Structure 1
Amino acid sequence: MAMHSDELHIDEQVARRLIVDQFPEWRLECVRRITTDGTVNAIFRIGADLSARFPLRSADPTEMRAELSREAAAMRELAAYCPVATPAPVAVGDPGDGYPLPWTVQTWIQGAVATPQGLAHSEMFAHDLVNLVRSLRAVGTKGRHFAGSGRGGDLHDSEGWMEVCFRESDGLLPVDRLRALWAEFRSLPKVAPEVMTHGDLIPGNLLVEDDRLVGVLDGGGFAPADPSLDLVAAWHMLDDERRSVLRSELACGDVEWWRGAAWAFQQAMGLVWYYRETNPGMSTIGKTTLARILSDPVLSAFISASPGAR
């Protein structure tokens, strides 16, 4: 079942023809599709060391090529500072065989994809996330600023999208409670200057081995944003105690911490209903994150004491 109304079709046969025709040096390598919960690209393994990523949603080919070039530059910058392995761009392929967009080849990183609950109780994993966020924040923005219109900018910019999510979530989630919480979140002021962030630290973009972080995927969004944006990792993957460890080690004040919860909330609200039928894994991530936010005892106390609750 397609996840998106404008989703493109790409199967192993087409992917292999495109790879072999355009990059004959890999003609002897096995090409196989990788099953993931990803929503943006179809991913195919090329031998042991490479992967091909084919954008799944329809777009203008020229604009997509420019976007892939921008992402490659961001990936190279991330790789220079990331404390664990991250894919490196290798090549850009052309449309063909009925597939209408340019596509990319990247290095393959070993590791198991993280899950919402798998390492929620791990102190070592929490420390690894601290090290990751701290390392990325230390990179200079070089005068750049947030250039998007969604997560990582102004919370109020999500107002229209959140209204869609509340409407579509009726019957799936406790919408009245969630609306009240969003009303508090969206009023949180932006108090810290922008820093470099990964921008999408969800479980599917982190690789683990035993209880350690060993890889970071999808680095094309590495860019300046609200410093609270990468705190979504704590809400997507850690329990109460481990979130407290992360907050303490990063010395997060109240507003920064709860803005991180707000970005996780904004992301999770879109996952539950949108992927309910087509990508249950992503829908489950959303449900788990919202449950953590709703049950967090410190958040309840903070909201109760906030001006908007009076």
Structure 2
Amino acid sequence: MHETKLEIDVELVRRLIAAQFPHWRHLPVSPVAFGGWDNRTFHLGGEMTVRLPSAASYSLQVEKEQRWLPKLATLLPLPIPTPLAMGEPAEGYPWHWSIYRWVAGETAKNARIADLGAFAVALADFLVALRGIDPTDGPAPGQHNFHRGGPLSVYDGEARQAIAALEGRIDTQAAIAVWEAALAATWHGLPVWFHGDVAWGNLLVENGRLSAVIDFGTSGVGDPSCDLAIAWTFFEGEGREAFRTHIAVDDATWARGRGWTLWKALITVAGHDANQAEAERQRHVIGEVLADHRRWV
């Protein structure tokens, strides 16, 4: 997943719009406040956004979102991004890109949420509704979504290497126990839709409530346990309990959710490109996952 990302700026977006969608060329272009890392996002006027993959691996997601988001949107209880157009490679930019209708709201920071328990229930209800959509012909796990929805074993070597690298910094024996429990909790269910990156930056809030879910780049059909990571990366205490109660998954799926969360936190802390604040935050996540495992096993 470590690859060179393109420099994408306002001038590039203006050139692409002018060349391919001249009827919108008069609209101002400006970066959004939280523009993302895998993709770069810009305002186009007051009612649209332009979203451009920053590297080749993310470009695989564009046509998937163009095809599936309009179908999913009509069946979900909250707004999701609506594609309006797909751009072509041009102006030195090598991949397809998208124009979406702007989704109002602010990213889900704790201070913006009126009732974290109600927020957790609303999110769980959204994910249950997503799981209930007909998965026929939906995108199976693969390179387009970094194998989310597939077996955790694809990251076994990476997780164990990170655990070894963190000897003396975390409880490595407990981490191994959680990881192996997740691997052993084999998924035998039928494929269902999942979001793939349920994180605070992809959840929007208005008037203190969950108002929309964005960024379906890692979505697909398969094992939905990857969508549980928010339980440890964002929720605590009563919020986590409310989420677990309403998400309605079995113990094995919850265990795999711990595995997905642990893997991502481990490789972030063990990596060299995380800043100190992010590394500390992920160490906290590791502690929450290990404690949750002790509680339920």
Shorter-chain TM-score range: 0.7 to 0.9
Number of matched pairs: 293
1:269 to 262, 266, 280: 266
- Secondary structure of the residue aligned to 1:105 is strand
Q: 1:54 to 1:251 in 2, by over 3 A?
A: closer
Conserved? CA contact 2:114–2:208, under 8 Å? no
1:292 to 274, 281, 288: 288
Conserved? CA contact 2:35–2:42, under 8 Å? no
Q: 1:151 to 1:34 in 2, by over 3 A?
A: same
Conserved? CA contact 2:14–2:29, under 8 Å? yes
Q: What TM-score does the superposition give when structure 1 sets the normalisation length?
A: 0.82
Taking the aligned partners of 2:278 and 2:167, their CA distance within structure 1 comes to 18
Taking the aligned partners of 1:56 and 1:45, their CA distance within structure 2 comes to 17
Taking the aligned partners of 1:285 and 1:77, their CA distance within structure 2 comes to 36
Task: Determine the structure 1 residue equivalent to 2:246.
Answer: 249
Task: Determine the structure 1 residue equivalent to 2:122.
Answer: 128
Taking the aligned partners of 2:106 and 2:113, their CA distance within structure 1 comes to 12
Letter in 1 for 2:256: R
* 5+ long unaligned stretches in structure 2: none
Conserved? CA contact 2:192–2:224, under 8 Å? yes
1:208-248, Cα deviation, whole Å (9 max, x unpaired): 12431111111244431113232223222211222212222
Q: What TM-score does the superposition give when structure 2 sets the normalisation length?
A: 0.85
1:24 matches 2:50: no
Q: How does 1:111-122 map to 2 (within 5 A)?
A: 111-115=105-109, 119=113, 122=116
Q: How does 1:213-252 map to 2 (within 5 A)?
A: 213-252=210-249
- How far residue 15 of structure 1 moved from its aligned partner, in angstroms, is 1.7
- How far residue 201 of structure 1 moved from its aligned partner, in angstroms, is 0.9
Q: How does 1:59-70 map to 2 (within 5 A)?
A: 64=59, 67-70=61-64
Deviates more, 1:159-168 or 1:10-19: 159-168
Taking the aligned partners of 1:11 and 1:110, their CA distance within structure 2 comes to 22
Runs of 4+ in 1 over 6 A off after TM superposition: none
Conserved? CA contact 1:10–1:42, under 8 Å? yes
Letter in 1 for 2:282: G
Q: 1:20 to 1:122 in 2, by over 3 A?
A: same
Conserved? CA contact 2:86–2:97, under 8 Å? yes
Taking the aligned partners of 1:120 and 1:238, their CA distance within structure 2 comes to 14
Conserved? CA contact 1:4–1:57, under 8 Å? no
Letter in 1 for 2:266: M
Deviates more, 1:71-80 or 1:184-193: 184-193
Conserved? CA contact 1:198–1:219, under 8 Å? yes
1:79 matches 2:73: yes
1:147 matches 2:147: no
Conserved? CA contact 2:195–2:218, under 8 Å? yes
Taking the aligned partners of 1:215 and 1:271, their CA distance within structure 2 comes to 27
Taking the aligned partners of 2:42 and 2:138, their CA distance within structure 1 comes to 33
Letter in 2 for 1:128: A
- Secondary structure of the residue aligned to 1:101 is coil
Deviates more, 1:89-98 or 1:166-175: 166-175
Give the aligned CA root-mean-square deviation in angstroms: 2.9
- How far residue 20 of structure 1 moved from its aligned partner, in angstroms, is 2.1
Conserved? CA contact 1:275–1:283, under 8 Å? no
- How far residue 88 of structure 1 moved from its aligned partner, in angstroms, is 0.9
Q: How does 1:42-121 map to 2 (within 5 A)?
A: 42-58=40-56, 64=59, 67-115=61-109, 119=113
Task: Determine the structure 2 residue equivalent to 1:158.
Answer: 155
Taking the aligned partners of 1:120 and 1:162, their CA distance within structure 2 comes to 36
Deviates more, 1:105-114 or 1:189-198: 189-198
- How far residue 142 of structure 1 moved from its aligned partner, in angstroms, is 2.3
Task: Determine the structure 2 residue equivalent to 1:10.
Answer: 8
Taking the aligned partners of 1:27 and 1:177, their CA distance within structure 2 comes to 56
Taking the aligned partners of 2:124 and 2:264, their CA distance within structure 1 comes to 21
Letter in 1 for 2:107: V
Conserved? CA contact 2:262–2:289, under 8 Å? yes
- Secondary structure of the residue aligned to 2:5 is coil
Letter in 2 for 1:252: V
1:154-177, Cα deviation, whole Å (9 max, x unpaired): 121211221343355567655454
Task: Determine the structure 1 residue equivalent to 2:180.
Answer: 183
1:38 to 32, 36, 39: 36
